[in-house]
């Protein structure tokens, strides 16, 4: 071998550790830059949809997708958010930050009201606001209860991160946890009322049915019906795959989907399967029921419309993996795409695109 070549290779290998580090931190990264997918909240009264994605919250006009405002006005290094913002009864927009901060914004203009920085990890799930109290679940395993001014009232500690939005059912705050448990908590004091071990992590929020029964999906491939007053499991259904998204309750039926791409309908009273349909990609969101149709998104980039008996009506292909839940807004169905070409896609009931929103690059 040529001497000069050998000596060059020798010198280059001296830089080997740097080359290694560059490879490690760049080449193997995910194709998706963001850590999660867009989260939506619709305020139909004001004709606005709030979209949380990556480094900003966008307030868009429902009519045409035009941007009203964004927060922060310019990208900030530490600010990241994905959970659907929560609109409170006293006109606050609550934002879950990956920067360990809960933000309260004015929904009209995006100005900051207050921040709560008492947590020690990311806010992955949305906060909820009920009965004049804000309940904010955090990845530091704690649920933070705040008054409307963002002052801490109490905390509740689980054993693993809390990624899902709690729901208030009568006198019980129900929260599902990654520690495999569903907890019933006193909303006034944060005292634990009951615990139900489901055997698998729970990523998404419980869904309220009738008679104070809530439904949860677990990574143990189950959907469970739980009495929120006692914490007793009423029934469980074994799904084909891990159930990531929240179930949806409609007229005595529970609709849910799993990471195998199966959509299924269960009898809410017994858990008996009514029908199931296989799609071609993992489903992480809750099925949307709107105008007597069911809509789901899957990782293969499909928006699928079903009739209520599980017959596929139409499928629209989008050139991106679709995660999360579709949201109904007026006459529109909003889809979170999360690519640079389209952050939000607004479809009509037939699957035709009405408008697309892509944020201006910064």
Partner 1 sequence: MLEFIIVPFTNVLVFIYSLLGQNFGLAIIVFTLLVRLVTYPFNASQMKSAKAMQELQSNPKWKQIQEKYKGRENREKLAQEQMKLYQELGISPFGACLPTLIQLPLIIAMYWAVTRALAATPLQLLGFARGLSLPNAAELIPLNSHFLWMDLEQPERLYLDFLPIGIPVLAIIVLVTSYLQTKMMTPANPSDQGAQVGRAMNLYMPILMAYISYIYSAGLALYFVTTNVLSIAQYYITRRPTAAAKTVVPAKPKQS
Q: Indicate the residue among 199 and 252 with the shorter CB distance to partner 1.
A: 199
3-state secondary structure the chain: CCHHHHHHHHHHHHCHHHHHHHHHHHHCCCCCCCCCCCEEEEECCCCEEEEEECCEEEEEECCCCCEEEEECCCCCCCCCCCCCCEECCCCCEEEECCCCCEEEECCCCCCEEEEECCCCCCCCCCCEEECCEEEEECCCCEEEEECCCCCEEEEEECCCCCCCCCEEECCEEEEECCCCEEEEECCCCCCEEEEEECCCCCCCCCEECCCCEEEEEECCCEEEEEECCCCCEEEEEECCCCCCCCCEEECCEEEEECCCCEEEEEECCCCCEEEEEECCCCCCCCCEEECCEEEEECCCCEEEEEECCCCEEEEEECCCCCCCCCEEECCEEEEECCCCCCCEEEECCCCCEEEEECCCCC
34 counts as binding partner 1 under rule CB under 8 A? yes
219 counts as binding partner 1 under rule CB under 8 A? yes
For residues 193-212, which are near partner 1 according to CB under 8 A? Answer: 199-201, 203
360 counts as binding partner 1 under rule CB under 8 A? no
282 counts as binding partner 1 under rule CB under 8 A? yes
Question: Exactly one of 55, 81, 128, 221 binds partner 1 (CB under 8 A); which one?
Answer: 221
9 counts as binding partner 1 under rule CB under 8 A? yes
Question: Exactly one of 71, 135, 163, 215 binds partner 1 (CB under 8 A); which one?
Answer: 163
How many angstroms separate the CA atoms of 302 and 296, rounded?
A: 8
Question: Exactly one of 160, 236, 300, 313 binds partner 1 (CB under 8 A); which one?
Answer: 160
Nearest approach in angstroms of CB 95 to partner 1 is: 16
Nearest approach in angstroms of CB 68 to partner 1 is: 27
Q: Indicate the residue among 48 and 126 with the shorter CB distance to partner 1.
A: 126
Question: Exactly one of 81, 139, 205, 305 binds partner 1 (CB under 8 A); which one?
Answer: 139
17 counts as binding partner 1 under rule CB under 8 A? yes
Span interacting with partner 1, options 18-26, 262-270, 273-281, 339-347, rule CB under 8 A: 18-26
Nearest approach in angstroms of CB 26 to partner 1 is: 11
Question: Exactly one of 69, 82, 156, 237 binds partner 1 (CB under 8 A); which one?
Answer: 82
Q: Indicate the residue among 18 and 360 with the shorter CB distance to partner 1.
A: 18
Q: Which residues bind partner 1 (CB under 8 A)?
A: 3-4, 6-7, 9-11, 13-18, 20-21, 23-24, 27-28, 30, 32, 34-37, 82, 98, 120-122, 124, 139, 160-161, 163, 178, 180, 199-201, 203, 218-221, 242, 244, 259, 282, 284, 323
């Amino acid at each position: 071998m040529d001497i000069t070549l050998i000596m060059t290779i020798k010198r280059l290998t001296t830089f080997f550790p740097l080359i290694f580090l560059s490879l490690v931190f760049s080449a193997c990264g995910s194709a998706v830059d963001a850590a999660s997918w867009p989260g939506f909240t619709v305020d139909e009264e004001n004709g606005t949809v709030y979209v949380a994605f990556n480094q900003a919250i966008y307030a868009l006009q429902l009519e045409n997708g035009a941007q009203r405002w964004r927060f922060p006005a310019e990208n900030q290094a530490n600010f990241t958010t994905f959970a659907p913002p929560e609109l409170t009864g006293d006109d606050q927009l609550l934002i879950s930050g990956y920067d360990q901060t809960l933000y309260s914004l004015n929904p009209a203009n995006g100005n900051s009201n207050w921040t709560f920085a008492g947590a020690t990890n990311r806010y992955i799930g949305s906060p909820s606001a009920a009965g004049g109290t804000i309940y904010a679940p955090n990845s530091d395993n704690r649920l933070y209860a705040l008054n409307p001014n963002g002052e801490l009232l109490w905390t509740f500690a689980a054993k693993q991160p809390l990624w899902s939005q709690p729901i208030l059912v009568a006198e019980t705050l129900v929260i599902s946890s990654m520690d495999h448990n569903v907890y019933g908590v006193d909303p006034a004091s944060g005292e634990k009322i009951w615990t139900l071990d489901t055997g698998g992590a729970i990523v998404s929020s419980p869904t309220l049915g009738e008679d104070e029964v809530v439904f949860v999906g677990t990574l143990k491939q189950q959907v469970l019906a739980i009495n929120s007053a006692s914490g007793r499991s009423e029934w469980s259904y074994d799904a084909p795959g891990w159930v990531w998204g929240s179930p949806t309750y409609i007229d005595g039926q529970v609709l849910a989907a799993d990471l195998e791409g199966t959509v299924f309908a269960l009898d809410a009273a017994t858990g008996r399967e009514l029908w199931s349909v296989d799609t071609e990609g993992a489903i992480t969101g809750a099925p949307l029921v709107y105008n007597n149709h069911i809509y789901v998104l899957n990782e293969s980039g499909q928006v699928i419309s079903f009739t209520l008996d599980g017959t596929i009506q139409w499928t629209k292909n989008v050139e991106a993996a679709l995660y999360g839940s579709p949201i109904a807004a007026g006459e529109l169905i909003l889809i979170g795409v999360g690519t640079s070409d389209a952050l939000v896609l607004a479809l009509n009931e037939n699957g035709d695109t009405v408008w697309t929103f892509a944020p201006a690059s910064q």
